A and B are shown apart, each in its own frame.
Chain A
Amino acid sequence: MLDQDGHRPNPDTILEKIRISENKKKGRLKIFLGYAAGVGKTYSMLDDAHEKMNSGIDVLVGYIEPHTRPETMQMMDGLSTLPPMEIKYKNLLLKEFDLDAALKRKPELILVDELAHSNAPDTRNKKRYQDIEELLNAGIDVYTTVNIQHIESLNDVVQKITKVAVRETIPDYIFDEADTVEIIDFSPDELIKRFEEGKIYRATRAETALRVFFSKENLRLLREIAMRKVADRISEDNRNEKKIQEKIISTKLLVCVNASVASDRSIRWTARTAEAFHAPWVAVYVDSKAKSDEKEIQVNLDLAKRLGAETVRLNGHDVADTIAEYAKISGITNLVIGKVRKKKTIKTLFEIDLEDKLLSLLPDIEVHIIPDIPQKMYHQKNRIRITGNLYFSWSDLLKTTGILILATFLSMGLQAADIGDQNIIMVYILSVLIIARITIGHLFGITASILSVLLFNFFFTVPYYTFNAIQPGYPITFLIMFLAAFITSTLTVRIKSQMRLSVEREHRTKILYEINKKFLVTRGLENIVALTNEYITNIYDRAVVFYTQDPGQESEGFFMGSATDLDIDLLKNDDERAVAHWVFQNKKRAGSGTDTLIGATGHYIPIISQAKVLGVIGVSCTKGKLDQNNRLFLRMLGSQVAMALERQYLSDDQRKILIETEKEKSRSNLLRAISHDLRTPLTGILGASSTILESGENLDKETHDHLILNIKEDSQWLIRMVENLLSVTRINEGTMTVTKTSEVAEEVVADTISHIRKRFPERKISVKIPNELLIVPMDGTLIEQVLLNLIENAFKHSTSDSSVEVSVRKENHYAAFEVIDEGEGINEEDFPYLFESYIPNGDRSSDSSRGMGIGLSICMSIIKAHKGKLGAANRKEGGAIFWFKLPLKG
């Protein structure tokens, strides 16, 4: 197909057009799927590549794992190979696929082994499948290999079968969206034989773990899973009947995600089920605690997203209520929850289980319960999570001790006043309440409840100053007191955390609202950028950069530092620009805290509107990575900025069109006026010269001289006209400005007068200049032109014996120039069109007076380009006054 394209008349332009309009043609992906190592994926891939090469396609071997078997290596003969990139990492020399070289080389087809591979830490992308996505986006076809256990949604199933954890996984969409999947089948018996002959792995590899993996049982199961996966793909491809689809659409699954690491099992289960039903599914997390394990939740939600779920975060104190509400609204038919078998405790005794509550709230929905069994390797992490809510600080300890001592003294007072034990208990419970309120976390509340019981026991029960209690009722008193204190403390902590949460949320909403409001009234790209940068630095207290154009194309970003983060320079270096450039190209987040180019200083997000990147915002991460909340907020801010930018671009475009039409209009008007004006003197010259040539000898001397004088005058007029027109070209098109230099006003005037004197030696002219030296920034030639035009105009409209006065003076921040004549003055009806090149109603413009119309309109454009003012008025004593003012600064 490409060959055919190549023979068309101008294929380059066509291809270029297609590339621009269709956002580049994507490459095709072919996956060679195996169920275990050694089935011959790489071999088949190379075999296929040879075939392609023989049919004339430009094939490049991008990367083949170096531990490949010798037979396979032989297959690489004759294929061009990209040398691997060598990366030094902790004294290790790692060989990696060289993505940039591949993109630069741009073959038609590239072979990259091991789709699920994780790249070395310093490379651009974390995972090889991201490299391959970039290749596809660049329009390169890709062949790759992968084993079934690396597919995300099957990961846990495979793990259960083989007991070997596979950490390198690829998202399902990569597999699902591949254009072709070829399964490489091989009998398990043969495979085991191969393995035992040492053909699959070299002897140096740890064999014990692999021996477990390569049992016949395992291989059979894996083979079945792989077959089924491919069969699913085929069946989905074939599924075109509408009936089934409609039925399927009615199914919608919801999986509850919690911070538990184990909930990945329920997520995977839901993903598989949803796929089987071809149903949409949602992963929901309910934010009910203040200090939840953001990281774990994000891991789980990310997993769900990778598996194709829509992820939702809800806020609400009661998890069951919130989920039920959401499920009702969004038409969920099946609900999946993970459950850990808990040991009964006093606390759980009083609680209704989540699933029970959900069942009662949602009688119509099927609820699936998936056992969440925490894996051993994560056990350590769980413990940290449990202690996550216990904070220790010296000031809190001091507060706790102080309050307890105070309570003890107060109780002693009460006892001395003989008020009674029950009040003392109340005092202690109150103190626990206060402690829970003013300290952070559960630690001090719980400690205080224990301590208060002990203190009560020590000081206020007989026998005093011992931990013994004689009266039989006391143990119960202690227990109740402890429980009361304990529950109060936990309640207080919970209320506090809820409060903080809602305050935080409200703050965020408020800021967003505020930004939105400001964006609505902000005009101009720079202002929008400045506003955004200001907000980001204020909120995060970090340096920020905003690119409105791809930094790969030599454009500068807008930088802003914060008071405490002075690392703007770090964001300005070439590496950071390259990251921003990548974001522009790939429309994805990158930099610190993402999966791509993680070594960067900044966290970069694209500002996308209608599939177009309008800008890139980068936030410095020298103070540590942005947490989930901040990233979320940044993204929300991003969408606001996108809207503001888009609005700006739209209005810019509109204005550009308006200016363009205006320019076009004035240009055609000018052209019309000029051609009209030029014709008259040219006709005169032509007539006079041909008369002389044809009948020169028959003319008397006087007529002859007169004709020649006419020619001279007409040419002089033409020269002045051309000079005027040329002067307009000195004004920069587009910006409509001039290049200014400092000139002395009186010198400009003097030069003009000397020119005028040469041209009109018989006219009277007087000049007034100020005593002080007036230096004005201007384009001297142009201002001289203005003065010439104005003086000439004055001569034209006054009798030859009257005089014209030219004066300059300083007027505040302006230099004011005036040309005053004693002539007939300006016609009232001419005022509106005085400085216009084209007069709408008819021919009065220039025929008679020979085009001072153009002269004055040129004066106007020159003065405007100087950011000055030009005007005219009639004098009381007769005659007209033309004036213009030039700013003394800038």
Chain B
Amino acid sequence: MKMNNEPLILIVEDDEAISSFTSAILASNNYKTVKTGKGKDAVSMAASYCPDLILLDLGLPDLDGIEVLKAVREWSNVPIVIVSARGHEREKVEALDLGADDYITKPFGTAELLARIRTEIRHSRRNQSRIGLAETKIIVNELEINYDKRRVRVRGQEIHLTPIEYKIVSLLSQYLGKVLTYEYIMKNIWGPYTNEIDSLRVNMANLRRKLEDNPAEPKYIITELGIGYRMSDAS
């Protein structure tokens, strides 16, 4: 009885209507849910329930969602998905840089919500199981990245990438399906205290032209406008 495999999701949302329909969707998709509308409760519930994922609305009545995020991140690596309104890019970037795993924009559809949650839970499980052994290659759709040989292929065709381009692709592929902020990518590629936003964009544009069939409608590297990039894990 104890060990059933249904993941537990903590919904932190002050709007009753949204929180009840979210919980309904999740329940019908075999997730267990707990709900709260208050930031302070959210922090204590995160500790007592040990959820598999937290769905965190940033606009809470008593405590800023960002504060909840900081408090939880002090001791836990539980995946946190931010719920935020469109146009609040700065807020999202801040949350992501503070350790949130992904975000979803209000209003959101059912499919989108489920996809995000699936990705995050898969990620956290893999990270737990993967300790010690690194994968040698990863395949997304027709894109194949071989970490040992530092080789990238599309439809079996080898693609020539510059060292920076390869670094970017491999970084994105390690966090498949997760959005990485500009800040995070730049720090990992060029090191801290640099601002290479323009180089990043140029490299991204080149990568799109090398990897994608139609750079205007990329399949592999998706732009999250004003926030960063993510590599699609749709297979």
On A, residues with C-beta under 8 Å from B are: 719, 723, 726-727, 730, 741-744, 746-751, 753-754, 758, 767-769, 771, 773, 775, 780-781, 784, 806
Contact = CB atoms under 8 A, between A and B. Distances in A.
Contacts of B214: 767
A746 B86 contact: no
Contact of B216 (A742, A758, A769): A769
Nearest to B206: A773
B224 interface: yes
B202 interface: yes
B216 A726 contact: no
B107 A719 contact: yes
B225 A784 contact: yes
Contacts of B87: 726-727, 730, 781
Given A773-B202, A781-B86, A781-B89, A753 B225 contact: no
A636 B224 CA distance: 63
B223 interface: yes
Contact of B217 (A750, A775, A781): A750
A780 B216 contact: no
Given A746-B208, A767-B216, A775-B201, 13 more contacts: A719-B107, A744-B201, A747-B201, A749-B216, A750-B215, A750-B217, A754-B217, A767-B217, A768-B216, A769-B215, A780-B226, A781-B226, A806-B216
B38 to A, nearest CB: 26
Contacts of A741: 226
A751 B86 contact: no
A613 B200 CA distance: 54
B215 A746 contact: yes
Contacts of A723: 86
B205 A750 contact: no
A719 B201 CA distance: 32
A773 B218 contact: no
Most buried by A among B89, B198, B217: B217
A386 B202 CA distance: 83
A773 B205 contact: yes
A719 B205 CA distance: 32
A505 B89 CA distance: 66
Nearest to A753: B217
A79 B197 CA distance: 71
Nearest to A784: B225
10 nearest CB pairs, A to B: A767-B216, A747-B223, A773-B205, A769-B216, A751-B225, A780-B225, A781-B87, A744-B201, A780-B226, A751-B223
A768 B107 CA distance: 29
A178 B215 CA distance: 86
Interface of B: 86-87, 89, 107, 109, 112, 197-198, 201-202, 204-205, 208-209, 214-218, 222-226
A475 B199 CA distance: 102
A527 to B, nearest CB: 37
Contacts of A775: 198, 201
A314 B139 CA distance: 99
Nearest to B226: A780
A499 B216 CA distance: 80
Contacts of A769: 215-216
Contacts of B89: 780-781
Nearest to B86: A723
Contacts of A781: 86-87, 89, 225-226
A778 B227 CA distance: 15
Contacts of A749: 216
Contacts of B204: 744, 747
Contact of A750 (B107, B202, B216): B216
Contacts of A747: 201, 204, 223, 225
Contacts of B222: 750, 754
Nearest to B229: A747
Nearest to B87: A781
Contacts of A751: 223-225
Nearest to A773: B205
A748 B89 CA distance: 14
A115 to B, nearest CB: 63
Nearest to B112: A758
Nearest to B216: A767
Contacts of B205: 744, 746, 773
Contacts of A767: 214, 216-217
Contacts of A744: 201, 204-205, 223
A806 to B, nearest CB: 8
Contact of B225 (A726, A743, A768): A743
A599 B107 CA distance: 67
Contacts of B197: 742
Contacts of B107: 719
A865 to B, nearest CB: 15
Contacts of B202: 773
A750 B226 contact: no
Most buried by B among A723, A746, A748: A746
A227 to B, nearest CB: 80
B44 to A, nearest CB: 34
A473 to B, nearest CB: 102
B59 to A, nearest CB: 14
Contacts of B198: 742, 775
B215 to A, nearest CB: 6
A550 to B, nearest CB: 36
Nearest to A765: B217
A540 B13 CA distance: 70
B40 to A, nearest CB: 30
A743 B224 CA distance: 12
A315 B93 CA distance: 76
A767 B208 CA distance: 14
A185 B105 CA distance: 90
B231 to A, nearest CB: 14
8 contacts: A747-B225, A749-B216, A750-B222, A750-B223, A753-B217, A775-B201, A780-B225, A781-B225
A519 to B, nearest CB: 46
A123 to B, nearest CB: 53
A635 to B, nearest CB: 53
A775 B200 CA distance: 12
A771 B217 CA distance: 14
Contacts of B112: 758
A748 B215 contact: no
A866 to B, nearest CB: 16
Contacts of B218: 750
A748 B225 CA distance: 7
Contacts of A806: 216
A746 B86 CA distance: 20
A807 to B, nearest CB: 9
Most buried by A among B89, B205, B215: B205
A806 B216 CA distance: 10
Contacts of B217: 750, 753-754, 767
Contacts of A748: 225
B221 to A, nearest CB: 10
B110 to A, nearest CB: 11
B80 to A, nearest CB: 24
Nearest to A772: B205
A719 B109 CA distance: 12
B216 A773 contact: no
Contacts of A719: 107
Contacts of A726: 86-87
A746 B216 contact: yes
Contacts of A784: 225
A741 B223 CA distance: 16
Nearest to B109: A758
Nearest to B205: A773
Nearest to A781: B87
Contacts of A753: 216-217
A690 B89 CA distance: 38
Nearest to B224: A751
Contacts of B208: 746
A743 B208 CA distance: 16
A805 to B, nearest CB: 11
Contacts of B216: 746, 749-750, 753, 767-769, 806
